[in-house]
Amino acid sequence: MGYKSDMDAPVYRYFDHGADIGVAGYGETLERAFEAAAYAMFSIMADLDAVKPASPVDFDFEEADAELALVTWLNRLLTEAHTRAWVFARFDLRHKNARWIGQAWGEPWRDSLERGVEVKGATFTELSVAHSALGWEARCVVDV
């Protein structure tokens, strides 16, 4: 399992899946939980402490269902990263009703960044967006 947290860092954990990897993000708000899940997902691909969040990428999408919004958010980040051959290390998400506005900061892959494992997509498996005593939890299995 392994929670990871410090004052300002995203709070996330991984959970087991037979072939792939479960990611769960936590936060006081839904948006912070989604951002933490994104951080967990990109941490599978690289050591994000070594990534310079130099340039931002902006995007938005429409989704009324919170669970489908989590999947869409994670998949949209993968799309934006893979299209540019970039890796992201910082995330910001806002939403009003069904409209979600996302921003991610990162840099192009360079030789000195050790490669983790490519995430192909976020799935509906173990998909859940829920409020608990810990705040918001946003989780799903990502296909690697």
Find the shortest distance in angstroms from Cβ 10 to other proteins.
Answer: 18
Query: Of 31, 5, 14, 8, nearest to 95 (Cα)?
Result: 31
**What does the alpha-carbon distance between residue 19 and residue 53 come to, in Å, rounded to a whole number?**
30
Q: Is 142:121 a contact under the CB 8 Å cutoff?
A: yes
Give me the residue label for tokens 């899946």: 17
Interface size with other proteins, residues (CB under 8 A): 38
Print the binding letters for residues 17-56 with other proteins: x by CB under 8 A, - otherwise. xxxxx-----------------------xx----------
Q: Does 105 bind other proteins (CB under 8 A)?
A: no
Q: Is 74:38 a contact under the CB 8 Å cutoff?
A: yes
- Give the footprint of other proteins on this chain (CB under 8 A): 14, 16-21, 45-46, 68, 71-72, 75, 78-79, 82-83, 85-87, 108-109, 113-118, 120-125, 127, 141, 143-144
